[in-house]
Structure formats: C-alpha cells, structure tokens
Amino acid sequence: MSGSTSSARVEEDGERWPPGISRTPTMNIGGALSILQREFPTVSVSKVRFLEEQGLVAPHRTPSGYRTYSQADVERLRFALAAQRDSFLPLRIIRERLGELDAGARGIPAPGARVVSEDGELTAATTRSRLTAGQTAEAADCDVEQVRALTAAGLISTDSGGKYPSSAVAIVRLAAQLAEHGIDGRHLRSLRSAADRQLDLIEQIVAPVRSHRTGPASAASRAKAHTLASDLTETFSQLHTALVRAGIDRLL
C-alpha cells in the first residue's frame, strides 16, 4: 500500500496515532494543560493552540465552538513538546513523524514514555526532567565515569541540586560513541564552544520575536520564538554536516 493510500485510509478511519488510547473528548483545554504542565511547566494555552494551528493535533469542537481534548490528543501534544524540548526538532519534522506514525509506520520512537494513563493521570514511566549522574549514564547506556568526565570537560552541566537536564542524555550518548574512536571530552570542548557561538546567533535572531513581556501576547511570542529557534537549530546542524562532508571530499 502506498504512503498516500495509507494516509487516506488513516484519515477515513480516524485511526490517528497513538493507538490504544481513548479518543473520547473528556476535557477542556485547561484539563489538557493540567496534565501537560506536570512534564512541561511552561506550556500555555497559546502554545497548545499554536500546535493545533500547525496541524499537530485536532481537538473536538462542541456545537458552541469550544475545544475538547481526549487522552490521545494530550499524547500527541506531549510528543511534539518533548521533540522540541529534548531533540530541538523543527515543527516540519515533528509533523512529518506524526504523519508517518498516523500511516502506521514502525520504528519511529516517540520521545519519552507516554504520560496519559487510562484515567488521565501521569504514568510511572514519565520521562524525568532532572537526572542524577547514574540515571543519565543508564539512559545513555554508558558508565557514570563518562558522565563525570564530560561534566569536568564542560560538555554537560548540573543544576544547583547536582542534577542533569534530560537533554544531557543525547550529548552523553553521542560522546560515548566518539570515545570508541579515542575522542574524549578534551577534544570535544571546541564543539561546545562552537555550539555556544551558534546559540548567541540564535539569541540575536529570536530576541525580537519574543519581545512581548506580559499579557496574552507574551505566551504567543514565546511559542513563536521557540519554533524559530528549533528551525534555526536544524538549519545550523544541516549546514555543519554539509561543511564536514565537503571537507571529507577534499581529504579523500
């Protein structure tokens, strides 16, 4: 079955991802937010509506026009929020991945574990937002010593409580792969410096977008700024890869 035919079947049958989770609309946007904010404390009504405008979720509308959400809707929102937070994926890529999942694709991991149980509560497997060194090493499938070495080299850092953000897991995992080739934290400091310079550029571009400080416009501005930053991150990554590949062509 072709991708377009499969997608058409999904739309006709209403079998959007995720499977096995209730699609009965049982909560208003406030109820959906109360679940999401346990994992994403800064998510707002404006952010949820922005993701809806981008086609990532389609809540039910009552005859009077109010949005009502199902447990499946909340999970789709969590997928998008986790992909932006943990992997810095642009909305275009998130939309594509959700479309592939809707079409029945396999082998596309959802970011983190599901947060919505049968009664609408968070499951015990919810992704931790702050991790100890041991938990970070376990999630990255490496030794605690590697986590500590990367911390000493400045590749990752802890908060005031000595905990690591969930984003540190991807850094540790990739650094562990490079360590197999003799590349350690000392060699990776230049990458950290380059990333910081890219962040400075992104900050300069994003700052005018999030200029609103208070009121309803503030949340909408933050959502747009986050999306812009994610898209810029993806472009920087693609450019970096292209430059390295061009260098390899010269070398070989």
Helix (H, G, I), strand (E, B) or coil at 68: strand
Residue 127 is classified by DSSP as P
- Residue 60 is predicted with a pLDDT of 93
Closest by Cα among 21, 186, 203, 18 to 104: 18
Residue 15's pLDDT band, with cuts at 50, 70 and 90, is low
Q: Which has the closest alpha carbon to 164: 139, 194, 142?
A: 139
The three-class DSSP label of residue 130 is strand
Higher pLDDT, 109 or 218: 218
For the chain, percent helix, then strand, then coil, each to nearest 5?
55, 5, 40
Looking up tokens 């983190």, which residue turns up? 112
Give pTM, 2 decimals.
0.52
The pLDDT, as a whole number, for residue 14 is 52
128-206 CATH choice from 1.10.3210.10, 1.10.10.200, 1.10.1660.10, 3.20.20.210: 1.10.1660.10
| Greater model confidence, 83 or 4 | 83
**What's the whole-number mean pLDDT along residues 9-13?**
39
Half-sphere exposure of 142 (CA within 13 A, CB side): 24
**Residue 127: per-residue pLDDT:** 43
Q: According to the CATH classification, is domain 3-102 in 3.90.1150.10?
A: no
Q: Report, as an integer, the average pLDDT of 69-97.
A: 88
Phi, psi of 95 (to 5 degrees): -65, -40
Residues of the chain with CATH 1.10.1660.10: 3-102, 128-206
> In degrees rounded to 5, what are phi and psi of residue 114?
-65, 145
